[in-house]
Amino acid sequence: MLRQPKKRWTPSHWANWKPFGIGEQYPNNYWEVFRAAWENRDQLSYAWDILNHGVCDGCALGTTGMKDWTLDGVHVCNVRLRLLRMNTMAAFDPEILADVSQLQRKKSIQLRNLGRLPYPMMRQRGEKGFSRISWDKALELISDSLRNSSPSPIDSTTNRFSVYLTSRGTVNETYYAAQKAVRAIGTNNIDNAARICHSPSTAGLKAGLGVAATTCSYKDWIGTDLLVFIGSNVANNQPVTVKYLHWAKKAGTKIVVINTYQEPGMERYWVPSIPESALFGTKFAEDFFLINMGGDMAFLNGT
């Protein structure tokens, strides 16, 4: 049976005695809240609905709205807040794309902040940029291209075109609907970024455990004997995870990190939704095993 976390404050787990980590290197999560509110000030009601009723498009830690199934309390992180504007930004003027050479000097964040694409756009060979076309025209061009794709030499009922989906905010239900639609159109050549990104993980889990998926829940972290992170910086990539780690530490769980770099966020973190941690921080890793690039297999085989 897993140990239960202590409810009282535990100074032995504090990162330091400086309130709110003054002078320390860590994300200012409270500032992120104000920054997100200001950035989305023209769509505050819509932004609130996205946070309160939507699915997290940040790290996919099983959140629905601002809750999750691991711990009580608010589930919002700076990753999700920074992505919020992607859903609320207004449409840009299509004339911006009339001459794309003017956009070449802009950085990716400047291009992203231009806004959302409001209409189908097309660029003809030799033209400086894109011009607006109707939805009917766009669908006609797409359908003609699909219809004219040559049949597969192996199966004459399957056309030789492929579809690749990529978006960090695309949920499984969307992927499922998309692959069914693509197969109905006439091809089984469909893939997505999520599968390619995690295919090494699923292959490793299948070979090591016999199941190509996790065999536990995040709740199992809290009170287990040992947690090992290999090449992972959850404090930066999945910030809400540190809330789970805080309660795991209070339940007596030991944390070990194997990485090429000693990530500050895996040493200690100030969890904004927990008063004790927000004030004095939480120490996480008992041990860091720093290995050279490519030395992970040698380390794992040796241990």
Dist CA 267 CA 286 (whole Å): 8
Give me the pLDDT at residue 1, please.
Answer: 60
- pLDDT confidence bin for 199, thresholds 50/70/90: confident
CA–CA distance from 134 to each of 93, 117, 119, 121 (Å)?
Answer: 16, 13, 8, 8
Q: DSSP class of residue 96?
A: G
The two structure tokens encoding residue 42: 């023209």
* Partner residues linked to 132 by β-bridges: 121
Q: What are phi and psi of 256, to 5 degrees?
A: -125, 140
Considering only 89-103, 118-132, 203-217, 276-290, which range has the smallest mean pLDDT?
Answer: 203-217
CA–CA distance from 135 to each of 89, 105, 164, 177, 178 (Å)?
Answer: 22, 30, 22, 21, 19
pLDDT digits (tens, 9 = 90+) for 84-136: 998 899 999 989 999 999 898 899 889 988 999 999 999 999 999 999 999 99
